[in-house]
Amino acid sequence: MSVPLLRPAAIFMLLALAACGSGKAGETAEAPLVRTALVGDAEAAPIRYTGVIRSRTESDLGFRVGGKIVQRLVDPGQRVRRGQLLMRLDAVDLQLAASASRDQLRAAEAQATQAVAEEARQRRLLEAGAVSRSAYDLALANARSAQAAAAAARSGASQAGNQAGYGALFADADGIVTEVLVQPGQVVQAGAVVARLARAGSREAAVAVPETQLSSLPRNGQAFLYGSNAPLSAQLREVAGVADPLTRTFDARFVLNRSDLPLGATVTVELPRATTAELRIPLTALHDRGGGPGVWVLRGDRVRFRPVRVARLGEEAASIEAGSLAGGERIVTLGAHLLREGQRVRIAITPVVRS
């Protein structure tokens, strides 16, 4: 029986199929590519907040009366002393008002003097039986009314005199003028802010804290000025009771142990993380082969499956109870569902996971 000869085209097709089959076998044997992460313990890195240096007390200064500014004697950044003159209003109108009040006081006192004398005269006539009781009562009422009017005029004159003095704005404490909001010639209303004063004394770091970290915010830490490695002690003084409507963070103030720090300078506050018996890992690292959740732990270039006890699940991470994993171990975070026990893998990326 003779064997049929294969045509050249058939031989070429067989060789091509053999080559394709050998390529697939090589790809199957190749170690899969996975992403991994290092498990970090809860105290691996401190919490850091960046903020600015502020004075503990910042005052908005303004005139107690309205008027036209005729003198501005300070500039932003200038140091001032308590009682130093900062600005002055046009005092002409204030002095005229004070003069008018004094004139009204003199007129009221003269009327009171006349009314008291008339009451005394009517009292003598009443005792002599020359006038009626009603006439005396009228004189007595006029005297008391004139005395009350004189007292009111006296208070008005005193107030007008004080307002004449309010035309000069003085610093109410030692400090630094951080902002000047008006210029000479400008007319301002009573109470309008014309300058801001950062009082001398302790300095604070003002930072924004996310609401998720408020409950565990440490009270003591350290701070560093931008570009400096010298640590400053930082102690929490207050936290805002309402979140910022735009950033949804809470303003916190940390008192620093130096009073000569430049206002507005950038500062970083470092706080220790609260100790915990849990580790956080990405949700993608969890895998359940049917006997409970676990993770693939790398030993060299091979993986071993380890069961873990999940304490809590979040949107992107899971909290693992202590004893399941140790800090510094490398786990597979992407591709866990494709692995098998003892399989060799190739590492793609090695980010560090911090709790």
> In 3D, which of 33, 23, 1, 47 has the Cα closest to residue 222?
47
33 vs 257: CA distance, rounded Å: 52
Helix (H) or strand (E) holding 117: helix 92-128
For 62-121, the pLDDT digits (tens) are 999 999 999 999 999 999 999 999 999 998 988 888 899 999 999 999 999 999 999 999
CATH annotation of 92-165:
1.10.287
What is the mean pLDDT of the segment spanning 55-61? 92
For 201-237, the pLDDT digits (tens) are 889 999 999 888 888 888 999 999 998 888 999 999 9
For the chain, what is the mean pLDDT? 84
In the chain, CATH 1.10.287 covers 92-165
> In 3D, which of 329, 326, 322 has the Cα closest to residue 275?
322
CATH annotation of 62-90+167-198:
2.40.50.100
Q: What percent of the chain has pLDDT over 90?
A: 48
pLDDT band at 276 (very low <50, low <70, confident <90, very high): low
pLDDT at 301 over 70: yes
Q: Which residues pair with 312 in a beta bridge?
A: 319
Give the type of residue at 298: L
What is the mean pLDDT of the segment spanning 37-56? 77
Q: Which fold has domain 31-45+277-353?
A: 2.40.420
pLDDT of residue 11: 41
pLDDT of residue 17: 42
What is the mean pLDDT of the segment spanning 270-291? 79
Q: Which fold has domain 47-55+201-271?
A: Elongation Factor Tu (Ef-tu); domain 3 (2.40.30)
- In this structure, are residues 108 and 152 in contact, taking their beta carbons and an 8 Å threshold? yes
Residue 248 has which token pair?
């949804």
pLDDT at 307 over 70: yes
94 vs 65: CA distance, rounded Å: 9
For 13-25, the pLDDT digits (tens) are 444 444 444 444 4
Pairing of strands 346-347, 85-89: unpaired
pLDDT at 355 over 80: no
CA distances to 129, 184, 197 from 83, rounded to whole Å, are 64, 21, 13
- How many other CB atoms are found less than 10 A from the CB of residue 309? 15
327 vs 62: which has the higher pLDDT: 62
What is the mean pLDDT of the segment spanning 180-189? 94
193 vs 199: CA distance, rounded Å: 16
328 phi and psi angles, rounded to 5 deg:
100, -15
pLDDT band at 277 (very low <50, low <70, confident <90, very high): low
pLDDT band at 174 (very low <50, low <70, confident <90, very high): very high
In the chain, CATH 2.40.50.100 covers 62-90+167-198
191 vs 10: CA distance, rounded Å: 101
Q: Which residue has the tokens 């960046």?
A: 50
- How many other CB atoms are found less than 10 A from the CB of residue 320? 23
240 Cβ contact list (under 8 Å, min separation 6):
250, 251, 252
In the chain, CATH 2.40.30.170 covers 47-55+201-271
Q: What percent of the chain has pLDDT over 70?
A: 86
Angle at 58 between CA 57 and CA 64, to 5 degrees: 120
pLDDT band at 29 (very low <50, low <70, confident <90, very high): low
What is the mean pLDDT of the segment spanning 145-162? 91
For 230-265, the pLDDT digits (tens) are 899 999 999 999 999 998 999 999 999 988 899 999
In the chain, CATH 2.40.420.20 covers 31-45+277-353
